[in-house]
Chains A and B, each alone.
Chain A
Amino acid sequence: MYWEKELETISPPDLSELQLRRLNESLERARNSAFYAERLSAVPAELKSMDEVATLPFTTKDDLRSAFPYGLLTLDLQKVVRMHSSSGTTGNPTVVFHTAGDIDNWGNLIARSMYSTGVRDRDVFQNMMGYGLFTGGLGFHYGAEKLGVMTIPIGPGNSKRQIWFLQHLQATVIHILPSYALRLYSFFEELGVDPKKDLALRIAFIGAEPHSEEIRKKIEQLYDIKVFNSYGLSEVCGPGVAFECEKQQGLHVWEDYFYPEIIDPDTGEVLPPGERGELVLTTLTREAMPLIRYRTRDLTRFLSGSCSCGRTHRLIDRITGRNDDMLIINGVNIFPIQIEKTLMAIPEIGRNYRIEVHKENFMDRLSVKVEINEQVFRGTLAELDKLQGIAVQALKAELGVTPNVKLVEPSSLPVSEGKARRVFDYRESEKGGL
């Protein structure tokens, strides 16, 4: 049931004590870096309680960029064994360093997470996440090996080969981008493979893209498996920061490794429990590159109550987006995940969609392209008209903005093998002049 029973079911006072000890060690290590030597100069040498965390300065992604490459490194390069980097498109990439101890801790977090969903050493794990600078592939790889699971390091893409391995090696567990899980499904029919009958698959881990509960349910139904939400970010290691256990009631933040806070992204104030805001993480064990109050930009909230699995680590809600994902359409705030949630609740709508924002006559125009579900298409124009009307009404009710809905053929929307890009904002290029 537990990978590390004592730590996973630790009592809140004991956890707090452990966190405080580790936090003070982290602060001490952090001060060895050029960046934190300065940033923490006004912070007392030792904190007396976890309540004092709220007085510490934040660390932002821009801080990481401006300290590129080695400004946050706390020790000599001879102690560093790995570097990962996040997928930034502008400016310096953010680079993250790991000691052997960091890699070991990270693997342990993944092993703990996988174990909590029921993965055991007799499982066969096909890892369809990218290997390389991206943390999704290697993070799970090391964790699965630590757990003793046979790991197939196949990486993403080449859908026919993926299905061949799934079928012939009878993989039971996969790790996959949610957008790719949906796309992969369209290849089964062509290959004459029934994912429900011909595979031994029982568990999928999805992460790296914010996704709605409806997407999770859709993947569970298509493959007849259990799907678990995995959360992490490369800045503090990668996947394994927070993870759903077998109860699927939210994600346990592994609080012996990370101290989580939810803040108001505008004021920086810590929010009362249950309020939605930006997740801030302080690493408690990282050696090469500890981060103090790192602003993840991911939006979530603490869930109240304790989980029936017996783990005491607090639960957070699924990530509803990043505060920089928010679209403002004619003054109305919209998160892409609201659109996804609404579309996926309509059975006639297929697995892929694309959101476009245009500027028309100085007004914002929200346009949503959706694939239709070929399984329920009966062959009439009337049903398509009706479907378009349903989608417009449902989106209007959810968003408070009337979008333009375009129906497109399945598999006609461009797909990438990395994280799915769903939002295309053309307003800047369409502003025009007076």
Chain B
Amino acid sequence: MGVQLSVFLENKPGKLEAITNILAAARINIRGITMASEGEWGVLKVLVSDPDKAHEILKKQQFTVSERTVVVAIVDDRPGALHDMLLNLSSRHINIEDCYGIVLEEGGKAAIVLDVEDYPEAEKVLVENKIRVLSDKELYAL
């Protein structure tokens, strides 16, 4: 389990760039990024090397940002691997707010970032099913 940042953004040119600029200046590395948009506004989710620091900096710059706990599971980089993992969650009626994946460079693996309301339960189910879940330290050092 670890933390990713959720940022409320108006859908306008230059908004995303303002955030990447702030993070770069603070020497914070971005591990993963995804954006869900509703047309006029959206929520940016970003996985960074130091979420607490990034949270503080963005807050000071008056962004609407919140820290959200996510479960990051490691699956094999092969057809059907994600499906197998999701089956474990859906069979236990665990609803996923949203998710995205990052293919890891080494070892033919992928990290799946899962934003789940009931994250302790999600992690428990995955561990029971022998799926590797990253600790926060592993996550920030991806």
Contacts and interface: CB of A to CB of B under 8 A. Distances in A.
Interface of A: 186, 189-190, 372, 374, 377-382, 384-385, 406-412
Given A189-B59, A412-B10, A377 B66 contact: yes
Contacts of A410: 62, 64
Given A189-B60, A412-B10, A384 B68 contact: no
20 contacts: A190-B62, A374-B64, A377-B8, A377-B64, A377-B65, A378-B68, A379-B66, A380-B6, A380-B115, A381-B42, A406-B41, A407-B8, A407-B41, A408-B41, A409-B62, A409-B63, A409-B64, A410-B62, A410-B64, A411-B62
Contacts of B115: 380
A401 B44 CA distance: 33
Contacts of A379: 5-6, 43, 45, 65-68
Contacts, number: 62
B86 interface: no
B97 A384 contact: no
A6 B36 CA distance: 66
A45 to B, nearest CB: 63
Nearest to A411: B62
A381 B68 contact: no
B9 interface: yes
A384 B10 contact: no
Given A189-B59, A379-B43, A384-B38, A409 B66 contact: no
Q: Which 6 A-B pairs have the closest CB atoms?
A: A379-B6, A379-B66, A374-B64, A379-B68, A411-B62, A381-B36
Interface string B97-127: 1100000000000000001000000000000
B64 A372 contact: yes
B40 interface: yes
A384 B62 contact: no
Interface of B: 5-6, 8-10, 36, 38, 40-43, 45, 59-60, 62-68, 97-98, 115
Given A377-B66, A380-B97, A381-B98, 8 more contacts: A372-B8, A372-B64, A374-B64, A380-B68, A384-B8, A384-B38, A409-B62, A409-B64
B62 A385 contact: no
Name the prevailing secondary structure of the B interface residues: strand
Contacts of B65: 374, 377, 379
Contacts of B36: 381
A409 B11 CA distance: 10
Nearest to B35: A381
A97 to B, nearest CB: 44
A381 B45 CA distance: 10
Nearest to A192: B60
Contact of B40 (A190, A378, A382, A406): A406
A375 B115 CA distance: 20
B1 to A, nearest CB: 15
A381 B66 contact: no
Nearest to A385: B38
B38 A381 contact: yes
Contacts of B41: 384, 406-408
Nearest to B42: A381
Contacts of A408: 10, 41
A377 B40 CA distance: 17
A186 B59 CA distance: 10
Given A381-B43, A384-B43, A385-B38, A409 B68 contact: no
Contacts of A372: 8, 64
Nearest to A374: B64
Contacts of B8: 372, 374, 377, 384, 407, 409
Contacts of A409: 8-10, 62-64
B91 to A, nearest CB: 23
A52 to B, nearest CB: 58
Contacts of A407: 8, 10, 40-41
Contacts of B98: 381
Contacts of A189: 59-60
